[in-house]
């Protein structure tokens, strides 16, 4: 793996950087790190380090929210029957819970509809709409879905429904004939990268104002921020700007453990109900359990957990989600093993864009497998599974390749598609599989060439063990939450000696000594990095690593997360 600077070393920091550091009450080292990450003036640094709620952009800057809120307020106040139609992933589930929670604060009841992943698939469908119309629904709000459902929205209109689409996915050529559309991708706005739950949050903010104008008491939306953080992090949005404000403050709500369901979910993951969680702990701990409901069974279990106020019931639901997640992980490993064999054959045949299919694969798990293969093979990857008379698939991309754009270029071969640049879904006829496989590979080859090249590890600078002390690491925590657009800093060590290696299932523990200072620190290597040869024990290496404060069981210690390593010539 190539170690490349995460910044342009030819651009020197300004002379006033130390002055900015004093004004921000941070160290010059942290100020320099912020500068190298593109924060080029004092105001930008201050915004980044202090993402407080008052810095959220006003509602008038979010296109479509006031018009949509006015329609919702009019329908609710006139006694309309509202249905919130969501999605079965964490973003859609949390957005559905947010809307229902908000309406409860104002005394409005509403029904919801989350399609069954395996039986109905993604988005709106006519059968579900017919059922809702039969139940008297005349007001439909979509969250995290709808922007590509042109025919289904037209059908809802034919059924007499007022339709408000709130979504964040990329729109197609034709927009749905809804009465109002809220989508940050459609016009200039403060944050086009909102998750579906983020869009729902601002829409409920506008509805809050509309209901206040109608004489109702304004509700406090801050308790809903835990749901915003949960859905936004699970959907891997860019964690800068407005998203940074929402997620940072939402993580504070998650730490407080006031939502009974999230507290139970934390306990199921081994965290105390009042424990502060980082973005990674939400993404790899809480989110997979919620996702498992929609992948393996019904998303209703996850939604019920987020909405319940009964602690005993929450504990049972969290236990059920953990069981489903364990089942999902076992099936994922089985599918991954089979998919790796197929991928190896494709790579040997020179494929750059991978399209893999097996009739035995579980439709709810293929997206995770696509993500892992795309990451390890550095190739855009599509995994397909049977869905009745068609194939459905999930695609995951690599930097520089727009997956949704690739699907758009293959549109004549597809029955439907939609998503983001890094992750998108599609459906196609089995008869079109081979043509799609060839076309997809040709498109990827035109972008990446004949080889993915060597992987890169972006380095933020050099850092000796003596510099990775608690004072500096506490400063680094000011950069959280980490995620897309704000990755964890990675530093390079001086040569260190491997004093001990202890293998564990899925990871490796190293004891490393910086012989210049005499400091010894523990490092953890995961996945591919864990495959380090035992012959390294006693030898000198340089590591690319992320230092963290480990607070497990209340005892703070410095731990290093190993990203890569290179062996050094041993002078002894």
pLDDT at 149: 95
Q: Are residues 77 and 215 in the same domain?
A: yes
Same domain, 131 and 189: yes
Q: What is the pLDDT of residue 8?
A: 86
Q: 429 φ, ψ to 5°?
A: -75, 145
Q: Is residue 149 part of a domain?
A: yes
131 shares its domain with 45: no
Identify which of 251, 234, 253, 157 has the alpha carbon closest to the alpha carbon of residue 195: 234
Beta strand extents in 282-380 (DSSP E only): 354-357
Q: Classify residue 259 by its DSSP letter.
A: S
Q: Are 528 and 507 in contact (CB under 8 A)?
A: no
Question: Based on the structure, what is the number of domains in the chain?
Answer: 3
What was the pLDDT predicted at 51? 97
Q: Are 461 and 491 in contact (CB under 8 A)?
A: yes
Same domain, 404 and 509: no
What lies within 8 Å, CB to CB, of 241 at 6+ separation is 190, 191, 193
Contact 152, 126 (CB under 8 A): yes
Which of 221, 59, 70 is CA-nearest to residue 139? 70
CA–CA dist 263, 251 (Å, integer): 13
Decide: 155 and 177 in contact? Cβ < 8 Å.
Answer: no
What pLDDT does residue 1 have? 85
Whether residue 229 lies inside any domain: the answer is no
Is 268 a domain residue? no
pTM over 0.85: yes
Cis peptide, bond prior to residue 359, ω within 30 of zero: no
CB 406 within 8 A of CB 382: no
Q: What is the CATH number of the domain that holds 463?
A: 2.40.50.460
221, 241, 270 — which closes off a domain?
A: 221
Cα separations in angstroms, 384 against 135, 398, 488: 35, 18, 32
pLDDT attached to residue 297: 78
Domain containing 179 equals 63-221
Residues 205 and 353 in one domain: no
Q: CA 149, CA 417: separation in Å to the nearest integer?
A: 11
Q: Could you tell me if residue 266 is inside a domain?
A: no
| Tens of pLDDT, residue by residue, the chain (572 residues) | 899 998 888 888 999 999 999 999 999 999 999 999 999 999 999 999 999 999 999 999 999 999 999 999 999 999 999 999 999 999 999 999 999 999 999 999 999 999 998 888 889 999 999 999 999 999 999 999 999 999 999 999 999 999 999 999 989 889 999 999 999 999 999 999 999 999 999 999 999 999 999 999 999 999 999 999 999 999 999 999 999 999 999 999 999 999 999 999 999 999 998 899 999 999 999 999 999 999 887 899 999 999 999 999 999 999 999 999 999 999 999 999 999 999 999 999 999 999 999 999 999 899 999 999 999 999 999 999 999 899 999 999 998 999 999 999 999 999 999 888 899 999 999 999 999 999 999 999 999 998 887 788 999 999 999 999 999 999 999 999 999 999 999 999 999 999 999 988 778 999 999 998 999 999 999 876 667 888 899 999 999 999 999 876 667 889 999 999 999 877 55
- The CATH number of residue 403's host domain is 3.10.310.30
* Judgement on whether residues 21 and 70 belong to the same structural domain of the protein: no
């Amino acid at each position: 793996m190539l170690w490349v600077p995460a910044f342009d070393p030819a651009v020197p920091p300004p002379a006033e950087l130390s002055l900015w550091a004093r004004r921000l009450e941070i160290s010059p080292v942290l100020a320099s790190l912020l500068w190298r990450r593109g924060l080029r003036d004092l105001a930008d640094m201050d915004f980044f380090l202090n993402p407080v709620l008052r810095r959220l952009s006003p509602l008038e800057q979010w296109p479509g929210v006031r018009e949509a809120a006015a329609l919702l307020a009019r329908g609710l106040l006139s006694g309309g029957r509202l249905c919130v139609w969501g999605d079965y992933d964490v973003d859609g589930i949390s957005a559905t819970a947010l809307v229902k929670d908000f309406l409860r604060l104002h005394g409005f009841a509403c029904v919801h509809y989350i399609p069954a992943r395996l039986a109905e698939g993604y988005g709106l469908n006519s059968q579900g709409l017919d059922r809702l119309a039969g139940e008297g629904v005349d007001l439909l709000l979509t969250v995290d879905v709808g922007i590509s459902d042109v025919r289904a929205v037209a059908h809802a209109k034919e059924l007499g429904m007022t339709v408000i689409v709130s979504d964040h996915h990329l729109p197609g050529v034709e927009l749905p004939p809804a009465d109002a559309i809220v989508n940050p991708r459609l016009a200039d706005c403060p944050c086009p990268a909102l998750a579906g739950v983020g869009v729902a949050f601002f829409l409920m903010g506008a509805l809050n104002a509309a209901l206040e104008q109608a004489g109702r008491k304004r509700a406090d939306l801050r308790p809903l921020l835990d749901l915003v953080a949960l859905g936004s992090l699970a959907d891997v949005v860019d964690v800068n700007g407005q998203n940074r404000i929402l997620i940072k403050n939402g993580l504070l709500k998650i730490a407080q453990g006031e939502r009974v369901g999230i507290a139970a979910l934390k306990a199921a993951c081994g965290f105390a109900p009042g424990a502060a969680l980082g973005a990674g702990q939400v993404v790899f701990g809480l989110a997979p359990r919620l996702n498992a409901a929609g992948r393996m069974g019904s998303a209703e279990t996850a939604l019920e957990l987020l909405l319940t106020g009964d602690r005993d019931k929450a504990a049972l639901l969290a236990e059920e989600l953990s069981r489903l997640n364990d089942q999902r992980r076992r099936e994922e490993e089985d599918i991954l093993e089979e998919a790796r064999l197929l991928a190896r054959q494709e790579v040997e045949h020179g494929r750059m864009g991978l399209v893999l299919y097996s009739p035995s694969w579980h439709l709810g798990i293929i997206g995770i497998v696509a993500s892992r293969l795309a990451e390890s093979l550095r190739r855009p990857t599509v995994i397909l599974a049977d869905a009745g008379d068609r194939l459905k698939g999930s695609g995951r991309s690599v930097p520089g390749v727009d997956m949704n754009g690739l699907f758009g270029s293959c549109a004549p071969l597809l029955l439907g598609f939609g998503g983001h640049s890094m992750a998108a879904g599609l459906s196609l006829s089995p008869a079109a599989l081979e043509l799609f496989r060839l076309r997809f590979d040709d498109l990827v080859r035109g972008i990446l060439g004949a080889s993915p090249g060597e992987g890169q590890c972006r380095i933020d600078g050099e850092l000796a063990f003596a510099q990775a002390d608690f004072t500096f690491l506490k400063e680094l925590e000011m950069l959280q939450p980490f995620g897309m657009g704000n990755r964890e800093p990675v530093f390079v060590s001086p040569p260190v000696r491997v004093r001990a290696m202890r293998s564990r299932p899925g990871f490796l523990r190293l004891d490393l000594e910086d012989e210049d200072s005499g400091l010894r620190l523990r490092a953890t290597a995961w996945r591919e990095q864990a495959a380090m040869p035992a012959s390294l024990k006693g030898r000198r290496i340089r590591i690319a690593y992320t230092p963290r404060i480990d607070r497990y069981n209340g005892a703070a210690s410095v731990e290093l997360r190993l990203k890569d390593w290179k062996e050094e010539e041993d002078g002894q």
